[in-house]
Structure 1
Amino acid sequence: MKISTRSITLAATLTAMCFVTGLLPYVFFLPVTVAATTLSVGIAAFVGFAFGAVSVAYSFLIPTGSFVGVAFMQAPYVAIIPRVLAALGAFGAYKLIEHIAKPQKRAAKFAAVSASATIGSLLNTALVVSMFVLILPNLTAGGATLAVAVPQMLISGAIECVCMAAITPPITLTLNKVVLRGKDLRNRHVPQTPEVSDK
C-alpha cells in the first residue's frame, strides 16, 4: 500500500485516539481495527504498539488497583505484544477477505471490515488472557485472582468484539472514501487557456 501524506496524517490521528479510547470501556481497540482496515501493515502494527504502550502508561498514571492494571505494571509486554499481533491478524484477515471475496458493493465491504475487526478483537482478548495465564498465574490484585479476572475479561472482550464489528466498518468505509481516496482539488486538470498571438 502506498504511504501518502494522508495516510501518515491518519496514522497520527489514530495514534492520538489511543489516548482517548484507552479511557473508554469496550472501544479501547477501535484505533487499531481502523488502522488495520485502512492503512499499511507497518502502520497498523505501530498503532497496535501505541495502544499497548498507552495501556501501560495509564496503568502507572491512573492506578486503579484492578487486576489488569496491576498485571500491566508488572509485565508491560503483556499489554503490548498481544496488541501488535492482533493488529497484524486483523490486517491479514482483511487482506485475505479482500483477495478471496473481492467485495465491491458497500454491504460487502462493510461485512469484510466487520469480520476483520471481529478477528482482531478476538485475537486481542485471547492473547492477553493467554499471556496472563502463562506468565502471571498467581497474580492477585484488587481482591481478584486469575480465576475471577479471566471470566470478567472474557465477558468484556465479547462486548468489545460486538462493538468493534459494528463501529469499525462505517468509520473505515468513510475514511477510505473521503480521506484516503478523496479527490484532491490541486490534482484536478485545469484546462489551459489558449495563448493569443499579438502578431
Structure 2
Amino acid sequence: MFFHVLEMGNALRHTSTTGMNEHSSRSHAILTLQLIQCCRNNTSLRSVRSSKLCLVDLAGSERAGKTGNTGTRLKESVHINTGLLALGNVIRALSDPARTRRGNNCNSAHIPYRAAKITRLLRDSLGGTAHTLMVACVSPSHHSVAETLSVLQFASKARHIRNRPRAISTHTEEENPPPSEENNSFECSSVIQ
C-alpha cells in the first residue's frame, strides 16, 4: 500500500526538459508519514503519541537566462524560485547570529513562515520541535559554479538553525474505560497515516 501511494505521488510529479536539465523537477515534493500511537491502561487514562516524518525534495533553482525557459516553463520557474526565496528568508531569519544568542524562542524577530506553502508545511522542521537533516545536492560541472555556490551558502545558513526536538504526548480521560482484569494491564495500538 505504502509503495503504491509513493508511486502514484511520484507519477503525478511534473518534470520537463529545460536548457539545464533533461528531467527537471517542476515542483517540490513532500512525503509526510504520521505515526499515531494510542496506549490505554486500566485506569481510564489514554495516552496518545504522534510522530511525523517529512521527506522533502525541493525543485532546483534555475536562472531564466541559463535555462532558456519561456511561456509555461518560465512561469513554473518563477513559482519555484518564489517558494525557494521564501524558504531562504526563513532560514536566514532563523540562522541570524543575534537570534541564536537569544535562542529560537525569542519573539523579537519575525520568522516569515506564512510567506509560502513550503515554509508553512516545513515549520516544525525549521526551528521547531523536529529533528532535521538536510542534504544539499550540487553539480560538479564548471558551468554550474554560481548555482553550486548558492546551494552551499544556503546549506551553511541552514546548519546554524537550532531546533528544539522533544516528544509530545497527550493524556486524556476516557468516558467509558474498558473493563480490565489486572491492575497493570496496558493496551497499545499504532496507526500510520
Provide the TM-score with structure 2 as the length reference.
Answer: 0.26
**Considering only CA atoms, is the larger Rg found in Structure 1 or Structure 2?**
2
Higher normalized strand content (fraction of residues): 2
Higher normalized helix content (fraction of residues): 1
Provide the TM-score with structure 1 as the length reference.
Answer: 0.26
